[in-house]
Structure 1
């Protein structure tokens, strides 16, 4: 199973289209907020299971603020992250994920990729598709793969 994880597209379909082409076949799509009106576009171009949450710039969106769901045996908690002070430190969202019994916590908002995995929990941020803030300033996303033995593999990817 291949899962494409993006955040902070801010309505920029050009970069999102490039990512969809670069990522190849996916079974699930996760958007971590600041879609900025791109929900209908994503529904039109993606033919897979989708999970999307509202970001701090999604003022009139009907998307949920947070979502919890399962990917096979893994409990996933997704949110944009601004309500958990992720710009200061990912520790708050990590503790929230643990309190919810999540195996994987995904967030956006900072526009910088982040990945931390230990025995208890995996915390990740794919960065921003449209307005990256990390060194090099390339749009970024993540691919999560689950093999037949239910083992997880994560890949941080950047736009060419």
Structure 2
């Protein structure tokens, strides 16, 4: 199984186009969107190419391949533009290995407020706009960063899961961080 992760698009059409371009070329079987899809949020500047309705139009053809969770900037009005559900605060994905991916945005569940994780589970979230790929004792922590508003000098990024490894990649394809499950 190969999965792609993106977070914090914040209504940027160029970022959404890049996400879909990377998804199409990745060979991934699913696209996991970790919230803050359409709205820029009041604490952020307007991103380049801020066109939330067009971002929805770019994402909607992939509705059957998308798993999405709600970010702190997402609302019911945003949901009205999307053909896939995105109002849940979290979702789970079960891997063939039996490990679980806990998918959330990060404003509710995070390292300071952990969800119920079993040994080997992976906490995956966005929200901080800072990429992370690491083992945390009995669980793993993964954040693909932000495709629109990266922070702390990191490049815009996304994530891939393949062969029991989670990788954070820059939009240019540089490896920003990797964690392999069970290692």
TM more than 0.5: yes
How far apart are the structure 2 equivalents of 1:64 and 1:40?
Answer: 21
- Give the Å deviation of 1:43: 2.7
User: Which residue, 118, 132, 139 being the options, matches 2:156?
Assistant: 139
Aligned counterpart in structure 2 of residue 82 of structure 1, from 81, 85, 107 = 107
* Distance change (3 Å), C-alpha of 1:52 and 1:102: farther
Aligned to 1:105, the other structure's residue is in SS state: strand
With over 3 angstroms needed to count, the CA separation of the structure-2 counterparts of 1:67 and 1:18, relative to structure 1, is: same
Deviations 1:58-98 (A, max 9, x none): 022352111123132221211111113x4xxx2433xx242
Distance in structure 2 (CA, Å) of the matches to 1:124 and 1:91: 14
User: 1:149 aligns to what?
Assistant: none
Gaps of 5+ in 1: 147-151
Structure 1: distance between partners of 2:142 and 2:99:
14
Which residue is 2:181 aligned to? none
Secondary structure of the residue that 1:4 maps to in structure 2? strand
Q: How many residues align?
A: 146
Aligned to 2:180: none
**Matched ranges for 1:115-126 at <5 A:** 115-118=133-136, 120-126=138-144
SS of the counterpart of 1:42? helix
Q: Distance in 1 between matches of 2:119 and 2:37?
A: 27
Q: Which residue of structure 2 aligns with residue 33 of structure 1? A: 35
The answer on whether the counterparts of 1:53 and 1:66 sit within 8 Å (CA) in structure 2 is yes
- Give 3-state SS (helix, strand or coil) of 2:108's partner: helix
What TM-score comes out, normalization by structure 2 length? 0.69
Whose relative contact order is higher, 1 or 2, with alpha carbons under 8 Å and at least 6 apart?
1
* CA distance in 1: counterparts of 2:146 and 2:2, whole angstroms: 19
> What TM-score do the two structures reach when normalised by structure 1?
0.78
Q: Which residue of 2 aligns with 1:57?
A: 73
CA RMSD of aligned residues (A): 2.4
- Structure with greater strand percent: 1
